[in-house]
């Protein structure tokens, strides 16, 4: 694209692998416009959700280009690109895509003129759960629907009432590159760019190859096995009150002030993950990476959500984030008397490495140090 004009678009067709298709096609697209890779000012990839292989190849390619040529990146959600095409008059736009396993990736956006604002993090669930999720968040207002796979929702019994209210599912194009490019361009003009380190995938459901990393269970698997809709996302400043409340009701968790969460999230190497269950924050994890090592500093789950896989989901997501950043080992400390937590961490692949006597206060107690190796 140049400004808002699409100079060349090439769709992936046939059965060729993305890995062997993307680079020659990029060369072809540039050649058709008389431009070279060094002329590109901003790289705009789709960050997902979608094909795990396709997303990973796209992001890896763009990360390499960004590093090599010193250009910024504007990552764009595939669902937002779809939602931007919706022509209905609804105050809300719901976009969804087939996630297989009888599930859909879904997102809901609030219209404000031409702008679309996410109502909540993107979700993964059965089609009926997505319909209910949209109903509870759209305040009974008219919703415009768009998808490449309308039948995933329109065949559900609960869709009947929406159809009777005059709603329908608009068919999205499967060539999303121009829409993704336009959103990315606007973000670039607003200065909302990231770099190779900050670019991240919006998998919503992690791929099996990552979620079972060293035997660890995954966020996506937890979502699929329960009726609750769970998703792990990064911390946002307005999460502070929820994190503070959860931390205060978890005596085993380290005590942090409200401002500490915000400041920590801004530090280099920090990782703050938030777990949502049915749209409400149910737990969080704080970690820090230094070179090829990382540490879990705090992990807490709300009292109503314990022993339901929340802590496991948060750790699994953290392992993936650390592994993608070339971390080799993850460390943590646990009160010597907290045998339940020690057993839990051992099940997640941690091994005891030592004892720090007098590490904790109120009461005075030793800390069991533990390590999980992500690579051997």
CATH code at 254?
A: 3.40.630.30
| Mean predicted lDDT score pLDDT of the chain | 85
- Residues 38 and 101 reside in one and the same domain: no
Q: How far is CA 211 from CA 207, 237, 320, in A?
A: 6, 27, 7
Number of domains in the chain: 3
- Tell me what pLDDT residue 376 has: 56
Answer yes or no: is 302 within a domain.
Answer: yes
- Tell me what pLDDT residue 93 has: 97
- Tell me what pLDDT residue 56 has: 85
- Tell me what pLDDT residue 224 has: 37
Residue 303 CB-half CA count within 13 A: 7
- Residues 162 and 15 reside in one and the same domain: no
- Tell me what pLDDT residue 231 has: 72
CA angle 244, 245, 249 (to 5 degrees): 115
- Residues 114 and 45 reside in one and the same domain: no
- Residues 194 and 258 reside in one and the same domain: no
- Residues 35 and 103 reside in one and the same domain: no
CA distance 281 to 106: 18
- Residues 29 and 165 reside in one and the same domain: no
- Tell me what pLDDT residue 252 has: 65
CATH number of the domain encompassing residue 55:
3.30.420.40
| Cβ-Cβ contacts under 8 Å for 134 (sequence gap 6 or more) | 92, 94, 106, 108, 143
**Three-state DSSP class for residue 124:** strand
- Tell me what pLDDT residue 363 has: 78
Residue range(s) defining the domain that contains residue 287: 208-373
Answer yes or no: is 81 within a domain.
Answer: no
Residue ranges of the chain with per-residue pLDDT less than 50: 208-227
Q: How many residues appear in the chain?
A: 376
Q: Which residues are known catalytic residues? A: 333, 345
| Cβ-Cβ contacts under 8 Å for 171 (sequence gap 6 or more) | 146, 147, 148, 150
CA angle 139, 145, 151 (to 5 degrees): 120
Q: Provide the whole-model pTM.
A: 0.57
């Amino acid at each position: 694209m140049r400004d808002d004009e699409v100079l060349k678009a090439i769709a992936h067709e046939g059965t060729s692998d993305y890995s062997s298709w993307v680079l020659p096609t990029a060369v072809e697209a540039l050649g058709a416009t008389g431009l070279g890779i060094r002329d590109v000012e901003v790289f705009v990839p789709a960050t997902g959700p979608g094909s795990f292989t396709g997303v990973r190849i796209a992001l890896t390619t763009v990360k390499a280009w960004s590093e090599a040529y010193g250009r910024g990146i504007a990552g764009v959600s595939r669902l937002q690109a779809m939602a931007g095409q919706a022509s209905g008059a609804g105050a809300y736009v719901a976009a969804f895509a087939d996630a297989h396993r009888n599930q859909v990736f879904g997102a809901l956006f609030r219209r404000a003129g031409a702008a679309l604002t996410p109502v909540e993090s993107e979700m993964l669930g059965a089609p009926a759960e997505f319909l209910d999720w949209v109903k509870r968040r759209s305040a009974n207002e008219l919703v415009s629907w768009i998808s490449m796979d309308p039948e995933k929702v329109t065949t559900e019994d609960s869709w009947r009432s929406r159809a009777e209210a005059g709603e329908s599912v608009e068919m999205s194009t499967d060539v999303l590159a121009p829409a993704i490019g336009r959103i990315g361009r606007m973000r670039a003009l607003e200065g909302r760019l990231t770099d190779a380190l900050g670019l991240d995938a919006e998998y919503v459901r992690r791929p099996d190859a990552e979620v079972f990393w060293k035997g660890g269970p995954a966020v996506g698997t937890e979502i699929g096995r329960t009726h609750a809709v769970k998703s792990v996302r990064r911390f946002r400043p307005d999460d502070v009150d929820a994190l503070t409340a959860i931390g205060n009701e978890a005596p085993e968790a380290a005590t942090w002030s409200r401002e500490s969460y915000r400041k920590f999230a801004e530090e280099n190497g920090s990782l703050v993950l938030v777990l949502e269950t049915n749209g409400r924050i149910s737990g969080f994890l704080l970690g820090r990476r230094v070179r090829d090592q990382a540490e879990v500093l705090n992990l807490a789950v709300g009292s109503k959500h314990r022993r339901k896989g929340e802590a496991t989901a948060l750790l699994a997501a953290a392992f993936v984030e650390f592994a993608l950043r070339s971390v080799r080992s993850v460390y943590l400390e646990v009160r010597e008397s907290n045998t339940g937590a020690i057993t839990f961490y051992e099940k997640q692949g941690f091994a005891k490495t030592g004892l720090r006597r007098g590490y904790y206060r109120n009461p005075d107690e030793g800390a069991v140090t533990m390590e999980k190796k992500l690579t051997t």
